[in-house]
A and B are shown apart, each in its own frame.
Chain A
């Protein structure tokens, strides 16, 4: 488009030509004027010359006439000579006039008239003169006739006419000169006017073709510079400026497009920043990018600390089951991912997945996902590869450069949000773990602010104090957790909201923030009632064991001392020795029990099981009891044929002895002790029933625990280690059986246990 340039060139050329024409006009006009004035001048000069010649001629005519007349009058010779001389001069003058008048067309006829008249005049004059020489009278006659005079007068008139003609010529020459000047002037003025008009026309054209469009362009560029990208740049001019305007408009549209894209990107950025969950982040990112690039689905993968990508969220997929498929194809996906490019921050477009998904596993996956094209947008934050946003198209889609750049920028925004979201997730996870630990921990935990006000307490502490966390929050520490101590340095008891005292152990620590300032405190309150109970049980055990040990020791010591220091009848000595023997046995049994427990607990107690005839074992253990127990009746109820049981004879004996011993011990009023054996499937059930003091349900709960003794006066005052039932139960369980009890206070108790049977034959007759 070089139109304006062409137009301008043409215009300037025109203008130049006008100027040239003007200059030429002036120059030519001046030259013509000068030339014509010079020619006029020479004409005038020649006319002058002619006039002078004519005047001279007239003078000669006058001289000739005068001398003729004088001669005529006088006949004087001199006059005649004067006249002849004048005539010669007149002829010369006449020649000159004729020559000079040659230049003018209208003069020669007049001159020849003059010449003719002159000749006529001279002739008549000659006649008169001849007459004179014959005499004066004839001369007078001729003269009187006046021919010569008449011709002279005619010649004179003619001469006057010539002079007049010349004068008129001179006048007309002068007038001609004036006219030439005026003509040149008029031409110059006209040319100047034409030039002025051309200039005006040029100015008008410039204004129209250049000025107005330039103003429009200036205001448009000013608008663009001022950031107004809305107003379109329109200039309906078909030249270079129009082209500039249309370029400006294109620029404006592109800039506006860019600005719009940037604005959308900023919007996306604002939205993704607000997304705190990875799922939400993915959805927002997809929603933001869909209008830009047309992708309808998105997959977010985040890099684990090790660097492996893990699927974290899907958006836009109609079937969320795809997630499982993606996870299953993890290894294959990782194999084809262009990790290098992604880590370098490059957006990778996969226009046709069918080409990439060569392996069947991926092929199936791509089919299930219903995705045709992918764009892999790396998410990098400060150079660190955080993950990958895969945008999916269901139709084939080829990324163009602009979209690639946009996705790269968007990737940066999303990466920032992803980093924040991952950090938040990590923090929430850590907080969740801490919260879970806090609330699940079995010990009471109390958190306070720096002013000692409760900020949180866990379930265990709620149970311990009777306060709920909601009620306790904001209250002073001491109100929620009043600690009562009976003596300084003694055990601390927590007083619950309802006045219950719980022995506790409290440990406290301040909570510091990152800068080492105390932001609160944590108290761990441990319910030590069980420990204290155990302590009490232990000291009770020690006292029991001590009592149990000391009693036989007392007997051994006492009887032995008596035997040594006193004279006694032989009978008494014997009975004393028996007492010593019994006490020794009792001591040995107690020590055995303690050792059994110790061995059981360390796993060193090993059974030596064999086929066993239970009936004979029952009979055997009952006989010593029968011998001793005066107040009790010991009965057995055994079926005719008992299956063979599988057990260690010594241990089964110990089990039965303990149970029957307890039955007798805890029925101080006497009564019946009944031992029953029944077959029950492939086990044998043995029960020992008494009619003793019985137990409350509360006592039953801890019946089989080590060192537990029913807390009743009658029981406490009865010697016992609290080990018997514990050992018994453990022994039964080691045989693969079960021991349990039923009891009614004041009525009696039944202890039952099972033992497995065996198809083996008895080895010999048992013991």
Chain B
């Protein structure tokens, strides 16, 4: 299963890498919003992990554009944010995100969530 991690922080991308390592995931990376949109459109991943605070284009906008495009609206979007306020979560959900992780997050919880998505996909297939 293809998934995309978009975060301007390389260490966070590394953490996701390490978390999902060895479970047959194809992990794509993007360092900013624009790159994230390009990769998502080009590679059509099943899941996108989106940081909200990113250079050039923030995660909320990326999410909105993905959900607005029929080609990409099926992609499961999970927001990753350092902002814990309710307002941010609501904004994320309003932008069409499917789930929400607040930093610091548990890598195992992320893994569970990703596997659930994969399971749903296989079930649906």
A717 and B56 contacting across the interface, CB-CB below 8 Å: yes
B106 and A557 contacting across the interface, CB-CB below 8 Å: yes
B108 and A554 contacting across the interface, CB-CB below 8 Å: no
- The reply to whether the CB of B1 lies closer than 8 angstroms to some CB of chain A is no
**Residues 1-22 of chain B, each 1 if its beta carbon lies under 8 Å from chain A, else 0:** 0000000110110110011010
Given that A547-B83, A550-B82, A565-B108 are contacting pairs, would A555 and B55 also be in contact in the complex, using a CB cutoff of 8 Å? Answer: no
- The reply to whether the CB of B32 lies closer than 8 angstroms to some CB of chain A is yes
- The reply to whether the CB of B84 lies closer than 8 angstroms to some CB of chain A is yes
- The reply to whether the CB of B105 lies closer than 8 angstroms to some CB of chain A is yes
A555 and B11 contacting across the interface, CB-CB below 8 Å: yes
Q: Is the interface of A mostly helix, strand, loop or mixed?
A: helix
- Chosen A-B contacts, 8 in total, with CB atoms closer than 8 Å, are A550-B82, A550-B103, A555-B12, A559-B18, A562-B15, A582-B11, A717-B33, A717-B58
B55 and A551 contacting across the interface, CB-CB below 8 Å: no
Q: Which residues of B contact A559 (CB under 8 A)?
A: 15, 18
Q: Which residues of B contact A579 (CB under 8 A)?
A: 11, 14-15
B104 and A717 contacting across the interface, CB-CB below 8 Å: no
A714 and B56 contacting across the interface, CB-CB below 8 Å: yes
A554 and B103 contacting across the interface, CB-CB below 8 Å: yes
Q: A557-B105, A557-B106 are in contact. List 14 more A-B contacts (CB 8 A).
A: A546-B82, A547-B53, A547-B83, A548-B82, A555-B12, A559-B15, A559-B18, A561-B106, A572-B18, A575-B14, A668-B55, A713-B56, A713-B57, A719-B8
- The reply to whether the CB of B54 lies closer than 8 angstroms to some CB of chain A is yes
Q: Please tell me the size bucket of the interface on A.
A: 20 to 34
A-contacting residues, B68-95, CB 8 Å: 82-85
Q: Please tell me the size bucket of the interface on B.
A: 20 to 34
Docked CA distance A553–B84 (Å): 13
Partner of B82, one of A547, A557, A582, A714: A547
**Residues 213-241 of chain A, each 1 if its beta carbon lies under 8 Å from chain B, else 0:** 00000000000000000000000000000
- The reply to whether the CB of A558 lies closer than 8 angstroms to some CB of chain B is yes
Binding site for A on B (CB under 8 A): 8-9, 11-12, 14-15, 18-19, 21, 32-33, 53-58, 82-85, 103-108
Docked CA distance A766–B83 (Å): 44
Partner of A713, one of B12, B55, B105: B55
- The reply to whether the CB of A583 lies closer than 8 angstroms to some CB of chain B is yes
B15 and A714 contacting across the interface, CB-CB below 8 Å: no
Q: Which residues of A contact B19 (CB under 8 A)?
A: 558, 562
Given that A550-B104, A713-B56 are contacting pairs, would A543 and B15 also be in contact in the complex, using a CB cutoff of 8 Å? Answer: no
- The reply to whether the CB of A718 lies closer than 8 angstroms to some CB of chain B is yes
A717 and B18 contacting across the interface, CB-CB below 8 Å: no
- The reply to whether the CB of A98 lies closer than 8 angstroms to some CB of chain B is no
Partner of B105, one of A554, A565, A717: A554
Partner of B55, one of A546, A558, A562, A717: A717
Q: Which residues of B contact A719 (CB under 8 A)?
A: 8-9, 53
Docked CA distance A546–B104 (Å): 11
Docked CA distance A551–B9 (Å): 8
B12 and A717 contacting across the interface, CB-CB below 8 Å: no
Q: Which residues of A contact B82 (CB under 8 A)?
A: 546-551, 554
Docked CA distance A543–B83 (Å): 7
B-contacting residues, A532-582, CB 8 Å: 543, 546-551, 553-559, 561-562, 565, 568, 572, 575-576, 579, 582
Docked CA distance A557–B105 (Å): 8
Docked CA distance A575–B83 (Å): 27
Closest chain-B Cβ to A399's Cβ sits at a distance in Å of 91
B-contacting residues, A707-749, CB 8 Å: 713-714, 716-719
Partner of A717, one of B8, B85, B107: B8
Docked CA distance A546–B105 (Å): 14
Q: Which residues of A contact B108 (CB under 8 A)?
A: 561, 565
Q: Which residues of B contact A713 (CB under 8 A)?
A: 55-57
Q: Which residues of B contact A558 (CB under 8 A)?
A: 15, 19, 104-107
